[in-house]
A and B are shown apart, each in its own frame.
Chain A
């Protein structure tokens, strides 16, 4: 397998004001791997993604994405990103096609318009998430799972090398969740994508990822979940409610505070 390093964090420390949120984080994600970061709310998962995306700068340590500093990645569109809470107003007057088209417009020059190739890419991206039939639907009228898939299509329309997803399955029912994860697995193979996904649902995620990193300020465990995660690490990260996290797929207490 290709062992090129997609994401590399080398002893990274991050703070907000004077509070340290990420402590000595080292993480290596190889190209075409699918990796999940799990941890409790407030554990620093979103902050870690913000650091990789260049929104937040560490005060110590180094971050690189395919060898490039995060501050420079914005320009080349190699990262497709799905933020945690989609802030979209359901009234926002855009069709599904328009939402995916945004990615293409983002990379156009001043006055740039879509060409045939862009349109094909947009429709193609929608097909990959099984949403091509909804092209002219109003985005706000879709279900949560459908919206998430459209937003994945928008990320794919960038032709990214990496997908970064922040709790993409939150708020989806279990059928929509299963469908979503199936699509991700397929994309990973077909599109040769590296996927970094935040989740607080170890149970579901364990079955599909190559690596899992348990994060609560520090990374307490980092490895292949199929080989077993030491229970001390889980308790360190999740506290005593760890049983909930592991067994109850639709655990409501895990969602608290979101």
Chain B
């Protein structure tokens, strides 16, 4: 264990997981309540196009995927407002377009040996000091935002039209939610990968909903759950020598189903 914590890459990944858990626990709740679970998967897949573009142009794929995802998130929001399309349809369009662009860019860069599986399934060995620094910045921006707007976002999620009439800046908050979600997804791709990150969007609040009917406790338990599965997954994957993202998702799913069964037994 000492050796584990002594290693630099593990420390980086540990701190990153810790910070990310808080964000995922919180945002998961709003994504689930607004029935936008597919959005998480969509944004993550959109990142693929950005990653490939970064590789093609020789810039840090983090920046290019961040730009891709934020632009996609905002455009999806606009498309649903203006074009009378549902979130699902809007996301479906962007998601496949961006994946196609990704494949296209990679094909252009013929000679490059590119760690595709690292981006698809995560690779904590690839977590750098710089990544950690980025996460810290995102967390420092997002946490005050989420606590400052918690109740307004709750109102917006519960009843958008009434919230608008009651003084909640609904469009601004909508965009803010989408942009922060995009940021969180992009920074966590290093750890869990594009394919698996959507689990971290869906599972925490689903777990929280099994625990309580009070949003404060739902969010609190979602954060606790994410902490347990991310840190647990990290440590387990180190000892079992397995891909971290996969271990986190399997652990999370198991805990979810065990809790589901227990809560059904308890309620008779």
Contact = CB atoms under 8 A, between A and B. Distances in A.
B151 interface: yes
A35 to B, nearest CB: 18
B158 A94 contact: yes
B33 A92 contact: yes
B152 interface: yes
Nearest to A114: B151
A119 interface: no
B213 A74 contact: no
Contacts of A53: 161, 165
Contact of B168 (A73, A106, A111): A106
B166 A94 contact: no
If over half of B's interface residues share one DSSP class (helix, strand or loop), that class is named, otherwise mixed; here it is helix
A59 interface: no
Contact of A94 (B162, B164, B165, B215): B215
Contacts of B194: none
Contacts of B212: 93
Contact of A83 (B149, B162, B209): B162
A187 interface: no
A228 interface: no
Contacts of A140: 213
B154 interface: yes
A74 B151 contact: no
B32 to A, nearest CB: 10
B183 interface: no
Nearest to B217: A93
A81 B152 CA distance: 17
B165 A91 contact: no
A89 interface: yes
Which among A53, A98, A102, A103 has the highest number of chain B CB atoms within 10 Å?
A102
Contacts of A195: none
Given A93-B215, A106-B152, A83 B167 contact: no
Interface string B71-97: 000000000000000000000000000
Interface string A60-102: 0000000000000111110101110011110111110011011
A91 B209 contact: yes
Contacts of B152: 105-106, 108
B214 A99 contact: no
Contact of B167 (A77, A87, A101, A154): A77
B155 interface: yes
A107 interface: yes
Interface string A91-131: 11111001101110111101100000000000000000000
A38 interface: no
B89 to A, nearest CB: 19
A93 B148 contact: no
A158 interface: yes
A102 B165 CA distance: 12
B159 A93 contact: no
A53 B148 CA distance: 27
Contacts of A105: 151-152, 154-155
B33 A89 contact: yes
A102 B148 contact: no
Given A83-B161, A92-B33, A106 B155 contact: yes
Given A83-B159, A99-B158, A105-B155, A93 B218 contact: yes
Contacts of A161: none
B209 A102 contact: no
B154 A102 contact: yes
7 contacts: A102-B155, A105-B151, A108-B151, A110-B149, A111-B148, A154-B162, A158-B166
Given A81-B162, A83-B159, 5 more contacts: A75-B167, A89-B33, A102-B155, A102-B166, A154-B162
